[in-house]
Structure 1
Amino acid sequence: MRTLPVVDRPEKSSPGRRLPSWLKRPLPVGNENFYTESLLRDLKLETVCENARCPNRPECYSRRTATFMILGNVCTRPCGFCSVPRGETVEVEGDEPARVAEASVRLGLKHVVITSVTRDDLPDGGAEHFFQCVTAVRERTGAAVEVLTPDFLGDRAAITRVIESRPDVFNHNMETVPRLYKRVRGRAEYRRSLDLLEQIKQQAPNMVTKAGLMLGLGETIDELFDVLADLRAVRCDVLTLGQYLAPTLKHIPVARFVPPAEFDELAARARLLGFQQVVAGPFVRSSYHADEMVPH
């Protein structure tokens, strides 16, 4: 297998630069996009698709899928890559679990993904609310449930509470390599995220764990594979690799656009490390086609 170039080879870049051809695609046609958007608005639900300006939103909405974002739409952490607003948080809405479950029923979801803003202002970081949302969906549907959580500041009791809801997939993203953490992830800690994934396997060995990274932030190939080795050391099952895209001119600029063929080769090499499932590509995100990422 040929040697891959470093992921941060020098290229002039800015968030406003013209996208390469492989990051352009037609918008989906039909009314399903509007159906999903209208349903979410009627039920007063937030999605990471909308708040994080995900490039896959039109496609996912047209497939009647969405990633529910609970605990409000204001985050307590100043991450350099994310467009979710930061500031004064809102009170936890007690009826939100029921609304998430209702949306799951109306959309006919077979795989429900629930994520949240980071709520460091809450004593348990929102863990109990995650538990209630997973439970509500289970009571109304036969769908598989995937949670994509923050790190709960390493609070083991909070992480245990989410584990107790028995999600089919427990997802927590690493996002980038340790050297870039301060700039990209703000108050997050690399070891804390690994410890979270390790705790899940210690308490629920058969629970599927999943993690994702964004490429094109300035990481090198050696740094990337050091992270993948660390993920396998804590028995992470599923890996996603996608292209970082700056949501606005105020966010961290893209250092490099990674070609599709390179994503394919990275995925092939990652599988050799023992991941049960690896999905990699320019448009890949943690919850993109999440139902297809679960090991069988």
Structure 2
Amino acid sequence: MATKPSLRKPEWLKIKLPAGEDYDNVKEIKDMMRSKTLHTVCEEAKCPNIHECWANRTATFMILGDICTRACRFCAVKSGLPTELDLQEPERVAEAAEQMGLRHCVITSVARDDLADGGASIFAETIRAVRRRMPFCSVEVLIPDFMGNEDSLRIVMEAKPDILNHNMETVERMSDRVRSKAKYRRSLELLARSKKLAPAIPTKSSIMVGVGEEWDEILRTMDDLRAVDCDIMTIGQYLQPTKQHLDVKQYYTPEQFAMLKEEGMKRGFRHVESGPLVRSSYHAHEQVKAAHAHS
């Protein structure tokens, strides 16, 4: 049976590997993560910006282990039944953030549908642990949907992150095909509830393009996010992590990403990060500045 030829990756998606001092920074961070038995989404999700971000001494910590209870068709993180719940993890994340001298710390997690609170209390404790060690470091959390559990969301919001991030991942029509268990409307509801619980905390969401969505569906997703008062949006190109994952249907050009940024800013987002290699936490330290500058 003939296999369908995959799309050729365009020039603008080629990544420059680090050298010199940048390489040393990458190696140092990798060694530190190993020594503290910590995970980063940078590695687990095969992020294309890992070298740039680590060379700049920024990283996104992934708490609650490295096994996800969901198996989304775009994501490289391992899925299965998690075994670990490490109550010392928040303190080790804070130690690592301090060692890296972070000004902005991003914390995400695998989905933990096996836990009653979905891991919300560990998120909250990690925020507090980072603040205890580094009172001037801003903290952003990228949370799962907690299966719509409002109490879990409240636990996180009461720890007062500087930015609450929850990703839509894709447009409504593609959502069930791309994501596992997560629902488009439930994600919007989570962002709406975040604003009700803590109106002063900026919210953020991200989608990837190239999975089969139409242009007007992207614009409709922007409208849906603005309708729940989402402040920051990031848009990046979907890249297939393995042959078992969703195919890339289209590579958007840098010009198209620039047009999407313009569309987002027209709709009133405080900040839109849009580009082929943009991921949810890419340039996050700059986004937090932009969000608070407009508040």
Taking structure 1 as the reference length, the TM-score comes to 0.94
Answering whether residue 257 of structure 2 is matched by residue 263 of structure 1, we say yes
Q: Give distance in 1, aligned partners of 2:84 and 2:9.
A: 39
Number of matched residues? 283
Q: Give distance in 2, aligned partners of 1:125 and 1:172.
A: 14
User: Is the CA contact 2:219–2:263 (under 8 Å) kept in the aligned structure 1?
Assistant: no
**Which residue does 1:121 correspond to in 2?**
114
Aligned AA for 2:34?
R
Match of 1:24 among 5, 14, 23: 14
Q: Give distance in 2, aligned partners of 1:111 and 1:47.
A: 15
Aligned AA for 1:184?
V
Q: Give distance in 1, aligned partners of 2:83 and 2:53.
A: 27
Deviation at 1:278, TM superposition (A): 0.5
Answering whether residue 39 of structure 2 is matched by residue 39 of structure 1, we say no
Percent identity, please. Answer: 51
- 1:160 partner SS: helix
**Which residue does 1:97 correspond to in 2?**
90
Q: Give distance in 2, aligned partners of 1:203 and 1:26.
A: 42
Flag structure 2 segments of 5+ consecutive residues without an equivalent. none
Answering whether residue 267 of structure 2 is matched by residue 273 of structure 1, we say yes
Flag structure 1 segments of 5+ consecutive residues without an equivalent. 1-11
Match of 2:208 among 196, 210, 214: 214
Deviation at 1:222, TM superposition (A): 1.1
Deviation at 1:213, TM superposition (A): 0.3
More helix by share: 2
Aligned AA for 1:47?
T
User: Is the CA contact 1:13–1:256 (under 8 Å) kept in the aligned structure 2?
Assistant: no
Deviation at 1:18, TM superposition (A): 3.0
User: Is the CA contact 2:15–2:48 (under 8 Å) kept in the aligned structure 1?
Assistant: no
**Which residue does 2:191 correspond to in 1?**
197
User: Is the CA contact 1:217–1:256 (under 8 Å) kept in the aligned structure 2?
Assistant: yes
**Per-residue displacement from partner, 1:93-113 (whole Å, max 9, x unpaired)?**
011000000000000000000
Match of 2:67 among 55, 70, 74: 74
Q: Give distance in 2, aligned partners of 1:207 and 1:90.
A: 33
- 1:293 partner SS: helix
Answering whether residue 279 of structure 2 is matched by residue 289 of structure 1, we say no
Taking structure 2 as the reference length, the TM-score comes to 0.94
Deviation at 1:211, TM superposition (A): 0.2
User: Is the CA contact 1:216–1:257 (under 8 Å) kept in the aligned structure 2?
Assistant: yes
Q: Give distance in 2, aligned partners of 1:23 and 1:36.
A: 24
Aligned AA for 1:144?
S
**Which residue does 1:6 correspond to in 2?**
none
**Which residue does 1:4 correspond to in 2?**
none
**Which residue does 1:5 correspond to in 2?**
none
User: Is the CA contact 1:13–1:254 (under 8 Å) kept in the aligned structure 2?
Assistant: no
- Change in Cα spacing, 1:211 to 1:219, as seen in structure 2 (3 Å) is same
User: Is the CA contact 1:232–1:275 (under 8 Å) kept in the aligned structure 2?
Assistant: yes
User: Is the CA contact 1:36–1:65 (under 8 Å) kept in the aligned structure 2?
Assistant: no
Aligned AA for 2:276?
P
Deviation at 1:13, TM superposition (A): 6.1
Q: Give distance in 1, aligned partners of 2:137 and 2:48.
A: 25
Q: Give distance in 2, aligned partners of 1:29 and 1:247.
A: 24
Aligned AA for 2:102?
L
Q: Give distance in 1, aligned partners of 2:83 and 2:122.
A: 14
Aligned AA for 1:100?
V
- 2:33 partner SS: helix
Counterpart mapping for 1:77-226 below 5 A: 77-141=70-134, 142-226=136-220
Q: Give distance in 2, aligned partners of 1:58 and 1:19.
A: 19
Tell me the C-alpha RMSD between the 2 structures: 1.0
